[in-house]
Amino acid sequence: MLHIAICDDMPQELERAGSLLKKYACEHMHDEIKTDFFSAPLELLTHVAEKGGFDVLLLDIYMPGIIGTEAARELRAMGDKCQIIFLTTSRDHAIDAFSLDAAHYLVKPYSEKEFFAALDKVMDKFIKKDEICITIKSTEGISRVDLNKLVYAETDNHVQKLYLSDGKVISVRKSSSELFELLEEEPRFYKCGSTYIINMDYIVELTSRNVAFSTGARIPILSRKYMELRKLYMDYSCSR
């Protein structure tokens, strides 16, 4: 059984999301689902603290008391790893939302097609994915690099250093452009000038001066690249 919660302070929005979820389940899912409804973030947080969390959470952002992103931050602080789909009337909180490992970000009024597409991507996360790898000649020999673990690459004196999420660093004697040719079919990778190639899946903070990753790493960026990266990151985050 899949346990799903919807939290929105507007009764009509709760009813619409619940109706679409029921229709999605009838058309796409073989497993039974249980749905809980909450009209306030504090009510949701109390439930999770006392009775446990959910597999999927559809969470409005603009609500009285505390906003949805702050509620999500508290859930993450509790260790809750549920798949969160944010529902909101504005894109203003998109970067903050995805720093909380949100699965999707839907802008109201969303269509049935958009709602179903967001759920499709969430359901995909419950299915174990095969590794997406490249095999590359490194300074240590032949290395197989799992792209899901590649956080960023940095040019260092004509060598590309590949920083992985498990702490491993692989050095490759290629130019930044040559390396990016191996990655450019994956929309999550962005070539930030001649020095860095970054995996947008790992971004938790983005400013005009630097990029911070969920691994704790932080790299500088050129200010002229900021707006381009910000737009690409928001577009990518809203479409994944």
**Integer Cα distance of 97 and 113 in angstroms:** 22
Q: What is the dihedral sign for C-alpha 12, 14, 16, 22?
A: negative
| Predicted pLDDT of residue 98 | 74
Q: Could you give the CA distance from residue 25 to residue 122 in angstroms, rounded to a whole number?
A: 13
The residues, any chain, with a CB within 8 Å of residue 139's CB and separated by 6 or more, are 159, 171, 172, 173
Give the chain's domains with CATH numbers: 2-124 (3.40.50.2300), 133-239 (2.40.50.1020)
Amino acid (1-letter code) at residue 36 = D
212: its two tokens:
């911070």
DSSP 226: H
SS3 call for 210: strand
In angstroms, the CA 25 to CA 3 distance is: 12
- pLDDT, averaged in runs of 10, over the chain (240 residues): 90 95 82 88 91 89 89 88 87 78 88 93 67 82 87 94 94 93 90 92 91 93 89 80
pLDDT at position 31, please? 63
101/215 Cα distance (integer angstroms): 13
pTM exceeds 0.75 for this model: no
